Amino acid sequence: MSSDWLSFWDSPHSIYVNARHKDVHYRLIADQIVALVPSRGARVLDYGCGEALHADRVAAAAGEVLLCDAAPSVRAGLSARFAANPAIKVIAPPEVAALPAHSLDLVALHSVVQYLSAQDADALFSLFRRLLRKEGALIVGDVLTPDHAASADVMALLRFAAANGFVGAALVGLTRTVFSDYRRLRARLGITRYSETAMTAKLAAAGFSARCDPKLIGHDRARLAFIAQPR
């Protein structure tokens, strides 16, 4: 991740329109990861996890959950939040690279690849291929396609808000986003986008067999999600 994006995620931001939005977002992601945990003894890595407010739900379904985020302030918050939970360990990216080969059962990479260069994504996929057990799986979510329109994001947020009781805050938040640091940074740096074919090929080049299923993770069905297993 570029230093500019890292600085953004390492500082206060308004990606979530209110506390309700943040809570239901992280609860949904946690429950979707839980549905993919293969066993009660599984070792799960959530890479680029953000605040992961409900990682304890994943930990209750697995043997160990590793939460990794590149932003130091995010890791500090995670460490404080889950200090009393022995099944949750907060680690930095270099610690992920140092994990033993074939030591993970599930890796979740949600809403990360759009902020990485194609080369950095290749390196990360190769790392996960080394770390996953033969029967393990990598989940790649929130992948934007080349023709993805901003209007699709607006409609997805409004549907999510209507289902979870924060429509008013969502409307205010959409207006605020027009003038936000996120919008300016995204306009300057751009976002990495992949078609279904391109992402499947990229995962295949790293040693995975992958298929697309937008229902796997996240609430925005216009964005893609993939499940990939080592070949």
What is the per-residue pLDDT for 164? 96
Q: What is the pLDDT of residues 99-157, one digit of tens each?
A: 999 999 999 999 999 999 999 999 999 999 999 999 999 999 999 999 988 888 889 99
* pLDDT score recorded for residue 187: 77
pLDDT band at 183 (very low <50, low <70, confident <90, very high): confident
- Can you tell me whether residue 49 is helix, strand or coil? coil
| pLDDT above 70: percentage of residues in the chain | 99
Q: What is the percent of the chain with per-residue pLDDT over 90, rounded to a whole number? A: 79
Q: What was the pLDDT predicted at 189?
A: 76
* CA 206 to each of CA 138, 152, 169, 190: distance values in angstroms, whole numbers, following the listed order: 12, 30, 41, 24
Mean local confidence (pLDDT), 37-43: 97
β-pair partners for 230 = 208
Query: Could you report how far apart the first and last alpha carbons of the chain are, in Å?
Result: 27
For residues 10 and 80, the model is more confident at 80
Q: Could you give the angle at the alpha carbon of 165 between the alpha carbons of 164 and 170, nearest 5°?
A: 95
What per-residue confidence (pLDDT) applies to 113? 96
| Token pair in block for residue 163 | 């289902």
- pLDDT value, residue 188: 77
Judging by DSSP bridges, how do beta strands 208-212 and 224-230 pair with one another? antiparallel
In this predicted model, what pLDDT tens digit does every residue of 49-103 receive, in sequence order?
999 999 999 999 999 999 999 999 999 999 999 999 999 999 999 999 999 999 9
The span from the CA of 229 to the CA of 231, in Å, is 6
Query: What is the predicted pLDDT for the residue at 131?
Result: 98
190-208 tens-digit pLDDT: 789 999 999 999 999 999 9
pLDDT at 60: 98
Structure tokens given for 16: 């979530």
User: pTM to 2 decimals?
Assistant: 0.93
Q: Which stretches of the chain are assigned E, i.e. beta strand?
A: 43-47, 64-68, 88-91, 104-110, 132-143, 208-212, 224-230
For range 15-26, the mean pLDDT: 93
Query: Angle at Cα 209 formed by Cα 122 and Cα 116, nearest 5°?
Result: 20
**Cβ atoms 108, 141 nearer than 8 A:** yes
SS3 142: strand
Thinking of the domain 3-230, which architecture would CATH place it in?
3-Layer(aba) Sandwich (3.40)
